[in-house]
Structure 1
Amino acid sequence: MTITTGPPPKANTPVALARGFLTGGVIGTSLTAFVAGCVIESVPLCVAGVGLPVVHSLLLFLTGAPRRAREAAVPMRTALAMIESLRAVGGESSDVPVRFGLTVAPDDAPAFRVGITQDINLVDLPEYRPRRIVVVQYPQDRPWRAKIVHRPTTDWRDRAAAAGVDSAPLSTMVSKPSGGCVVGFVGLLGLLLGTAGVLLLFRADLFDRDTTARQPAAGPSVSSTSSTTVVSSASGTVALGPGQSFLDKGELRRAVDSLTKGRTTDQALTVVVRERLLSVVFAPTGTEALRFDPGSLPYERFPALVEEARTSLGVRSPQSWQITAERLTGSVTVRVGVTGTEGAASLEANGDGEVVRRTPAH
């Protein structure tokens, strides 16, 4: 016979489903954002990937306060119980976690089985043995949270010493309701959607590759002049079509002008240029971070800087390059990096395009 302790908690309520979906979405979004931020070297994206779970945990804690208050208000029930089995499950300190199998016999309800894990001091461990009668307490609506009372009152201690408890059938075993398959499914769905959303937003930065359009051998060569521009309050990107390059004369300055049109000067935090991808990160309103005017960069010097980095730093077979302009200190720094089979190398130039430091490949 099973005990009656009120209606069991509903695992698949709309609130539980929404919480599972949101948790899955936060996990997928934060992990993907952090990895993507490391790949494209975006500090704000990495910070967002780390901060999102913290905010989510805080919200869950705050929204769960009423439920915890209701659970704390439920009166505790005291009952006698018989130890059916016990097994130490680990621990190297003075308190050892022990898995107990108990038959609990309330005074006004049928007996039932329950499994609990509780820390027992090594000194007291010999006192707990199968068939011994102990005193337990548990919330009336959550009997699976029973705990053995180490120092019961005199009345309960005397009752435990004189009483006998018969073993309850295994069919009366009570346990915490599981979340169910539906909650797991919506959590997985949220994780996949969160991951897909981040990949979709940053697909240009993550999946851009330096490729050359293939043309038929007998046909004339055709160059594409298409480009894709995406601008928001925080950033802007321009992606060129196949056959184009930001090292082409005037191409880079035109792209920067298209991203900064209508904005005030001294607004950029970072400018990153690759073969066919330009990214500009703008300073948020009111921030005190060091910024600069992206239109003031020596774009006419960029092709020569890339050529010098590709030919004079020990990378004999350069495969990719990247230019990063930022103002971490008082002046603007232009860094050109190249990678190849020999490793990576870089050079730094000042705001006028003059090389001030070289780091050859090792």
Structure 2
Amino acid sequence: MTITAGAPPTHGTPLALARGFVTGGVVGTAPAAFVVGIIIENVALIVTGLALPAVYGLLYFLAGMPRRAREAAVVPRTALAMIESLEAIGSESSDVPVRFDLTVAPDDAPAYRVEISQSINLVELPDYRPRGIVVVQYPPDRPWRVRIVKRPTPEWEGRLAGAHLDSAPASARVSAPPEGCAVGFVGLLGLLLGAAAVIVLFRADLFAQETTAQPPSSSKPSVSSTSSTTVVSSASGTVTLGPGQSFLDKGELRRAIDSLTQGKDSRQALTVVVQERLLSVVFAPTGTQAPQFDADSLPYERFPALIEEARTTLGVHSPETWQLTADRLTGTLTIRVGVTGSEGTASLEADGQGEVVRRSPAR
């Protein structure tokens, strides 16, 4: 069963492809500009690397305002729904993210199944139980965007009393249209081209920096390549994983960090940037006053959970790319995880122990 009436497909359209390409370009250009700027001591490039994501996020938000206005103008439909099952997927402060499996029974359409995530106040959590009946609302053209109405109108409260619903079959489940692979491909292409453009434009400065930064005995980077490629210099280090690997694999990130810091007298870093298959570490130059931290002190065991939380609980249902950045630019060690998808961009921030302190859902 598929309920998509009035919802024109957006995946794979030229606009979506262009948006994915530009987003990938920004994701690739910003960290590359920041890292290259630190290596060659180019303040303008460092500022560009920091400001580019913020500017792009603002433009992305402004460009989406007409669409959000149109969506807000659509009168949502109200219906009764039965809770098939529920599961708490977090325990943060007083609001707990809960995953619901619902049977929604519209008055003018067949019942269907849908899975949603919604934050419920800890005090109200006992009110929701399997086989319980709730009032929900959803846009007519996006029936998978169901939200439980916590305080229904008196009319619906009356219908709620004594209501009984039958479970819809699993074959009647609806969900958001799958993301086309073309969008992911152009996003990856934009990421690679963005990073490559920065490196190519400043290759002369980079090579000059490598020549003068260290004595001849250590000027040649160490490179090892089996399932991954490691390049280490006095100023930075990168590890690139091979196909089928990910830094989310157990122990992979810790091994990569050890390979970059092994044998160094000081493991102080200015920034650590992690993507799916790319790790970049910018080491603090000797005698620098820039905010720095011990690369070994990061809570690497918490990174997979932080990335998973950012990908699943911030409203980006089909994440295309993610990036984790650790630095002390604000004075204290901060870990930021950003995800990008068709719904927009979202991010969360954690402290030096990997505990989440701020969330910015997709809008």
- Superposed pair shares fold, TM > 0.5: yes
Q: Does 1:84 align with 2:84?
A: yes
Query: How much has 1:38 moved relative to structure 2?
Result: 0.8
1:103 corresponds to: 103
CA contact (8 A) 1:3 1:109 kept: no
Asked whether the equivalents of residues 86 and 130 of structure 1 are also in contact (C-alpha less than 8 Å), the reply is yes
Contact 1:3 1:111 (C-alpha < 8 Å) held by counterparts: no
Unaligned runs of 5+ in 2: 221-262, 266-285, 288-363
Paired residue type of 2:140? Q
1:237-280 superposed Cα distances (whole Å, 9 cap, x missing partner) = xxxxxxxxxxxxxxxxxxxxxxxxxxxxxxxxxxx9998xxxxx
Note if 1:129 corresponds to 2:129: yes
Residues 297-340 of structure 1: CA distance to partner in whole angstroms, max 9, x if unpaired? xxxxxxxxx9xxxxxxxx9x9989xxxxxxxxxxxxxxxxxxxx
Correspondence for 1:260: none
Q: 1:38 to 1:105 in 2, by over 3 A?
A: same
Deviation at 1:4, TM superposition (A): 5.0
1:39 deviation in Å? Answer: 0.7
Distance 1:3 1:194 in 2: 38
Return the offset for 1:3.
Answer: 3.4
Partner letter of residue 18 of structure 2? A
How many aligned residue pairs are there?
224
3-state SS of paired residue (1:96): strand
| Percent of matched pairs sharing the same residue | 66
1:184 Cα shift? 0.3
Q: Are 1:3 and 1:110, in contact at CA under 8 Å, matched by a contact in 2?
A: no
In the TM superposition, 1:114-263 aligns within 5 A as 114-206=114-206, 208=207
Kept after mapping to 2: 8 A contact 1:32/1:49 = yes
Write the distance in 2 (CA, Å) between the matches of 1:40 and 1:97.
Answer: 45
Contact 2:26 2:53 in 1 (8 A): yes
Q: Against the structure 1 CA distance between its residues 112 and 8, is the aligned structure 2 distance closer, same or farther, given a 3 Å change threshold?
A: farther
Partner of 1:93: 93
The 2-side partners of 1:129 and 1:28 are apart by: 45
CA apart distance, 1:56: 1.0
For 2:264 and 2:175, the matched residues in 1 are separated by: 61
Give the structure, 1 or 2, with the largest relative contact order (CA under 8 Å, sep 6 or more): 2
SS in 2 for 1:45: helix
Query: Structure 1's 61 and 92: CA in aligned 2 closer, same or farther, altered over 3 A?
Result: closer
Unaligned 5+ segments in structure 1 are 209-271, 276-305, 307-314, 321-340, 344-358
Distance 1:82 1:138 in 2: 15
TM-score, normalised via structure 1 length: 0.57
1:158 Cα shift? 1.9
Q: 1:23 to 1:99 in 2, by over 3 A?
A: same
- AA matched with 1:202: F
CA contact (8 A) 2:94 2:121 kept: yes
Instruction: Indicate the residue corresponding to 1:59 in structure 2.
Output: 59
> Cα–Cα, structure 1 residues 318 and 123, in superposed 2: closer, same or farther, change >3 Å?
closer
Q: CA RMSD in A?
A: 3.1
Counterpart residue type for residue 56 of structure 2 = H
Contact kept in structure 2, 1:86 and 1:99, CA below 8 Å = yes
Residue 13 (structure 1) aligns with: 13
Q: In the alignment, is the contact (CA less than 8 A) between 1:80 and 1:136 conserved in 2? A: yes
Checking the alignment, whether the CA contact within 8 Å between 1:2 and 1:112 is kept in structure 2 is no
Pick closer, same or farther for the CA change 1:7–1:139 going to 2, 3 Å: closer
**C-alpha distance in 2, partners of 1:49/1:81?**
47
Asked if 2 retains the 8 angstrom alpha-carbon contact of 1:99 and 1:118, the reply is yes
- Cα distance in 2 between the residues matched to 1:123 and 1:319: 61
The residue matched to 1:109 in structure 2 has which SS?
coil
Structure 1 residues 83-133: Cα deviation after superposition (integer angstroms, max 9, x where no partner): 000011112322211111000000001111111111222222222111111
Q: Deviations over 1:185-218 (max 9, x none)?
A: 0000011111111111111111x3xxxxxxxxxx
Structure 2: distance between partners of 1:96 and 1:54: 29
Distance 2:62 2:12 in 1: 21
- Cα separation, 2, equivalents of 1:318 and 1:27: 32
Read off the aligned partner of 1:94 and give its amino acid letter. S
Partner of 1:217: none
